[in-house]
Amino acid sequence: MYKSISLSSTVLLCFALSACGTNPSRSGGSIPVDVPPVTQPVSIDGVVDDTDVDPNSVAGRAPKERVIFFDFNKSELRPEYLDIITQHGRYLAQNPTGRARLEGHTDERGTREYNIALGEARAKTIARMLQLQGVSSAQLRSVSYGEELPVDEAHNEDAWSKNRRVNIIYEVEIQN
């Protein structure tokens, strides 16, 4: 469907367009903003925290198995992890100064924001189970990164199964 207009209206259009012309400010003006660098090491899978922690601290003596894996699109705990969660629950309940951060993650499939929500649901599953064993909510902090921080960046089931996880990260500072 072609549209043609008469020359007289074309002239009017020319005036209208040349009046606004090409706005010079449109192509410029974006100034990069640098975020201050993160001073603490970035921990994406909890491994860094494990090795850096003083073994005599609360964090250092916590149970070593700190990654819980999930099924695709699920936030329910797989039965085989019940024992590990029980160990963490008992440990945190007995050490009320201990603080743990629960980082929820998903695989790359599905949308990013939905995965943020799914990762949070996974972290909250772990938080609820710990609290059932007497851990105080003040000892726990949940954060979800969705699919943003994969352990394995390959696009296959093996990688995906490693990425669907909650990392239990014992925070180094002990508040008392």
Partner 1 sequence: MFISRMSKPASKTLKALLGLCCLWLASTSYVHAVIEIEITQGGESAIPIAIVPFGWNGGGNPPEDIAGIVSADLQRSGNFSPFNRADLIASPVSGDKPRYGNWRLAGAEFLLIGSVNKSAESYGVEFQLFDISQQKLLTGFNFKVSDQTLRNAAHQIADEVFEEILGIRGAFNTQIAFVSVEGKSRQKSYKLQLADADGKNPKAMLTSPRPILSPSWAPDGIRIAYVSFENRNRSAIYVQDRQKGSRKKVISKAGINGAPSWSPDGTRLAVTLSFEGNPDIYILNVNDGQTRQITRSPAIDTEAVWADDQTLIFTSDRSGGPQLYEVPASGGRATRITFEGNYNASATVSADGKNIAFVHGSEVGYSIGTLDRESGLFQVLTDGSLDESPSFAPNGQMIIYATEKGGRGTLGAVSLDGSVSQSLSLDTGGVREPAWSPFTN
Cβ-based burial of 27 (10 A; exposed 0-12, middle 13-18, buried ≥19): exposed
Q: Any contact of residue 138 with partner 1 (CB under 8 A)?
A: no
| Closest listed residue to residue 163, CA positions, set 101, 100, 104 | 104
Nearer to partner 1, 139 or 144 (CB): 144
How far is the C-alpha of 66 from the C-alpha of 59, rounded, in Å? 11
Q: Nearest approach, Cβ of 34 to partner 1 (angstroms)? A: 6
CB 105 within 8 A of CB 112: no
How far is the C-alpha of 134 from the C-alpha of 150, rounded, in Å? 31
Q: How many residues bind partner 1 (CB under 8 A)?
A: 58
Q: Which of 61, 90, 101, 162 binds partner 1 (CB under 8 A)?
A: 101
Binding mask 41-80 for partner 1 (x = CB under 8 A): xxxx---x------------------------x-------
Q: Any contact of residue 110 with partner 1 (CB under 8 A)?
A: yes
Q: Any contact of residue 144 with partner 1 (CB under 8 A)?
A: yes
How far is the C-alpha of 44 from the C-alpha of 105, rounded, in Å? 10
Nearer to partner 1, 84 or 123 (CB): 123
Q: Any contact of residue 82 with partner 1 (CB under 8 A)?
A: no
How far is the C-alpha of 74 from the C-alpha of 72, rounded, in Å? 5
Q: Which residues contact 161 (CB under 8 A, 6 or more apart)?
A: 69, 107
Q: Any contact of residue 114 with partner 1 (CB under 8 A)?
A: yes
User: Which residues contribute to the site for partner 1 (CB under 8 A)?
Assistant: 1-5, 7, 10, 13-14, 17-18, 20-35, 37-38, 40-44, 48, 73, 101, 108-114, 116-118, 120-121, 141-145, 148-149, 154-155
